[in-house]
Structure 1
Amino acid sequence: MDKKAKKRIEVIRQKLSTLQQQLAGAKKQPDDPQEPARLQAEIDKLQDEMTKLKAS
């Protein structure tokens, strides 16, 4: 892995942490019924990207 990929993985980890906290909050307080699904989709996308970066 090059420096760029390592930096991107670190950024993804930070975003995942934030998104997981938001998802937990959205599940506890369902103001917008679409929000948990949107957050989960974004988490899945970032996890896929991180997996691809680690594989390269």
Structure 2
Amino acid sequence: MLFNYLQNVNFLFYLFKIRMGIKRIGDFYNLLMRIVFVRNEINCQQTLAALINTRDYLS
């Protein structure tokens, strides 16, 4: 009886660890996506600024 109980607790803990691991991977993925998105935004702004500058320069 006690052994079964311990096994169940161990199993639940194992599931919990797996869930936490998946959550952590998800958080990491979100962070990565955010970094990529921000970098793309910065690149877009720089490109826009460059275009505006060249337009002013040409006119």
TM-score, with structure 1 as normaliser: 0.46
Larger radius of gyration: 2
Higher relative contact order (CA 8 A, sep 6+): 1
- Structure with greater helix share of residues: 2
